[in-house]
């Protein structure tokens, strides 16, 4: 580390000898007086001197210029990476995340064409992101011929924000994270009434895919996510205890799901259908394949036959939760059964329990005495403001 003492600016005077042409000695009296300004500076014990300035201000400027040029440490440029490099690095670090494949597809298909793969991260500003958002919000979907959904706007924005935040907080290659605002989405809750569920199962029995009806009934009465149901293997089924073990979950918390009569019956039919002389492979999938593409076409045809619209596979999970809440089960039980991380996720089904609200309202009936809560006999109850009769004067 360079140690620098405070510089000094001062005026120096001397007498030049006309005979010798240099500063005179005390014995010489033939010279004339001269003066000039200069500065001195001590750097690591070594004195540096400059002189010959015409004024004090020039000397001070010279001292400041020397300090700025020689003693100021060079500014270190922060390392930077391109957008493509940032996306690749983010995908590599999040390789264990279940939804990383879809997230990588969104990042590469949406943002690389917009900004370019070689664009530095610092060039991705809030203004450019907002311009893309405005264009996307007014876009029309090719499938529905309507304005694109808010989800198709928010998902790319959230993915880009995750990359930029990691570049700023962990990689330290981005000075500031641009402001990215997502739109508030309307919460969707679609569930089947019992008569609709009956129509759906009847239509599924007509499908050539023999596993589809059992997969629908099993998901309907266990509330499993699509990946959890398709990934279930026979070694995770314990019919003796009446439970199944789900190890690969969305929140990485394994859980046991109790089997009811409908779910157990679906497992029995699947077991009998695949039972071979050598027995069932203990590591085999219960429903034959975990690839959803082998069920997609049959599922869409089943919905058309049943006359059910605006319904997705995940809505089977909503249906299971809705039926449990309507049957009077506490939300904490529903949360544990479905494997929600927090109770806030389960609260979306709270409005489906009207009986609990009626009991809560009835609990207030005895708070006040009956004499205060009911009108007196000589005071008829009115539904509006009391109007006084104006007597006509003679």
Alpha carbon dihedral 145, 151, 155, 157, in 10-degree steps, equals 90
pLDDT at 216 (0 to 100): 97
In which domain, by residue range, is 285 found? 194-354
Yes or no: say if 229 and 287 are a contact pair by the CB < 8 Å rule.
yes
Identify whether 379 is part of a domain: no
User: What value does the mean pLDDT take over residues 223-250?
Assistant: 91
Q: Could you tell me the pLDDT band of residue 277, with boundaries at 50, 70 and 90?
A: very low
Identify whether 76 is part of a domain: no
pLDDT at 144 (0 to 100): 80
User: What value does the mean pLDDT take over residues 25-35?
Assistant: 56
Q: Could you tell me the pLDDT band of residue 281, with boundaries at 50, 70 and 90?
A: low
pLDDT at 386 (0 to 100): 46
Domain boundary among 130, 153, 169: 169
Q: Is the pLDDT of residue 311 over 70?
A: yes
pLDDT at 350 (0 to 100): 83
Do residue 60 and residue 96 come from a single domain?
A: no
Identify whether 330 is part of a domain: yes
Q: Is the pLDDT of residue 387 over 60?
A: no
Identify whether 290 is part of a domain: yes
**Over the stretch 333-363, which tens digit does the pLDDT of each residue have?**
999 999 988 888 888 888 777 666 677 677 7
Identify whether 389 is part of a domain: no
Yes or no: say if 237 and 247 are a contact pair by the CB < 8 Å rule.
no
Name the least confident of 176-185, 267-276, 331-340.
Answer: 267-276
Name the DSSP letter for residue 350: G
Yes or no: say if 120 and 80 are a contact pair by the CB < 8 Å rule.
yes
Do residue 163 and residue 243 come from a single domain?
A: no
In DSSP notation, 114-138 reads HH-TT-BGGG--HHHHHHHHHHHHT
Do residue 96 and residue 67 come from a single domain?
A: no
Q: Is the pLDDT of residue 41 over 70?
A: yes
Domain boundary among 71, 97, 122: 71
Angle between helices 261-274 and 210-222 (to 10 degrees): 150
Do residue 205 and residue 273 come from a single domain?
A: yes
Do residue 28 and residue 87 come from a single domain?
A: no
Name the least confident of 54-68, 82-96, 295-309.
Answer: 54-68
Identify whether 365 is part of a domain: no
Between residues 297 and 73, the one the model is more confident about: 297
Rounded alpha-carbon distances, angstroms, from residue 54 to 59, 60, 76: 8, 11, 37
Mean pLDDT of the chain: 82
The winner for highest mean pLDDT among 5-14, 189-198, 340-349, 357-366 is 189-198
Q: Is the pLDDT of residue 19 over 60?
A: no
User: What value does the mean pLDDT take over residues 97-121?
Assistant: 92
Q: Could you tell me the pLDDT band of residue 393, with boundaries at 50, 70 and 90?
A: very low
Do residue 198 and residue 339 come from a single domain?
A: yes
Q: Could you tell me the pLDDT band of residue 51, with boundaries at 50, 70 and 90?
A: confident
Q: Is the pLDDT of residue 3 over 80?
A: no
Yes or no: say if 189 and 318 are a contact pair by the CB < 8 Å rule.
yes
**CATH number reported for the structural domain that contains residue 246 in this entry:** 1.10.443.10
Do residue 45 and residue 119 come from a single domain?
A: no
Do residue 338 and residue 202 come from a single domain?
A: yes
Rounded CA-CA distance 301/306 in Å is: 9
Domain boundary among 354, 371, 389: 354
Do residue 212 and residue 343 come from a single domain?
A: yes
| CA–CA–CA angle 322, 323, 328 (5° rounding) | 100
Between residues 394 and 262, the one the model is more confident about: 262
Identify whether 364 is part of a domain: no
Rounded CA-CA distance 227/223 in Å is: 12
Strands 255-258 and 237-238: unpaired
Do residue 222 and residue 315 come from a single domain?
A: yes
Q: Could you tell me the pLDDT band of residue 159, with boundaries at 50, 70 and 90?
A: very high
Q: Could you tell me the pLDDT band of residue 282, with boundaries at 50, 70 and 90?
A: low
Q: For 313-345, b where at least 16 C-beta lie within 10 A, e where not — what string?
A: bebbbbbbbbbbbeeeeebeebbebbbbeeeee
Between residues 138 and 363, the one the model is more confident about: 138
- For 165-228, strand residue ranges (E) read none
Q: How many domains does the chain have?
A: 3
Do residue 110 and residue 161 come from a single domain?
A: yes
pLDDT at 40 (0 to 100): 83
Rounded CA-CA distance 25/21 in Å is: 12
Cα 55 from chain centre: 64
pLDDT at 160 (0 to 100): 96
- Which tokens hold the place of 293? 């593409």
Do residue 93 and residue 66 come from a single domain?
A: no
- Which tokens hold the place of 130? 């907002």
Identify whether 175 is part of a domain: no
Q: Is the pLDDT of residue 389 over 50?
A: no
> How large a percentage of the chain has pLDDT more than 70?
79
The winner for highest mean pLDDT among 142-146, 177-181, 351-355 is 177-181
Between residues 145 and 2, the one the model is more confident about: 145
């Amino acid at each position: 580390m360079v140690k620098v003492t405070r510089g000094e600016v001062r005026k120096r005077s001397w007498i030049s000898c006309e005979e010798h042409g240099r500063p005179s000695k005390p014995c010489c009296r033939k010279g004339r007086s001269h003066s000039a300004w200069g500065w001195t500076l001590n750097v690591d014990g070594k004195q540096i001197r400059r002189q010959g300035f015409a004024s004090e201000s020039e000397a001070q400027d010279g001292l400041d210029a020397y300090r700025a040029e020689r003693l100021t440490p060079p500014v270190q440029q922060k390392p930077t990476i391109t957008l493509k490099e940032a996306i690749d690095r983010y995908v590599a670090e999040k390789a264990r995340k279940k939804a990383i494949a879809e997230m990588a597809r969104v990042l590469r298909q949406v943002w690389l064409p917009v900004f370019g793969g070689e664009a530095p991260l610092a060039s991705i500003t809030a203004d450019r992101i907002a311009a893309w958002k405005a264009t996307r919000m007014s876009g029309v979907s090719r499938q529905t011929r309507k304005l694109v959904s808010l989800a198709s706007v928010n998902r790319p924005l959230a993915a880009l924000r995750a990359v930029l935040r990691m570049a700023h907080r962990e990689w330290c290659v981005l000075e500031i994270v641009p402001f990215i605002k997502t739109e508030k989405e309307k919460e969707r809750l679609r569930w089947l009434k019992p008569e609709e569920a009956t129509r759906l199962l009847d239509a599924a029995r007509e499908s050539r895919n023999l596993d589809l009806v059992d997969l629908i009934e099993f998901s309907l009465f266990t509330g499993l996510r699509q990946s959890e149901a398709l990934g279930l293997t026979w070694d995770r089924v314990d019919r003796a205890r009446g439970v199944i073990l789900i190890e690969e979950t969305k929140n990485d918390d394994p859980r046991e799901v109790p089997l009811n009569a409908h779910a157990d019956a679906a497992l029995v039919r699947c077991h009998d259908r695949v039972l071979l002389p050598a027995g069932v492979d203990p590591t085999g999938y219960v429903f034959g394949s975990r690839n959803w593409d082998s069920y997609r076409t049959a599922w869409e045809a089943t919905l058309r036959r049943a006359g059910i619209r605006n319904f997705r596979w995940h809505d089977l999970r909503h249906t299971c939760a809705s039926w449990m809440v309507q049957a009077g089960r506490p939300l904490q039980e529903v949360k544990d059964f479905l494997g929600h991380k927090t109770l806030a996720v389960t609260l979306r089904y709270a409005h489906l329990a009207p009986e609990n609200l009626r009991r809560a309202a009835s609990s207030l009936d005895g708070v006040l005495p009956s004499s205060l809560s009911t009108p007196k006999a000589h005071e008829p109850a009115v539904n509006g403001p009391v109007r006084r009769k104006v007597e006509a004067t003679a």
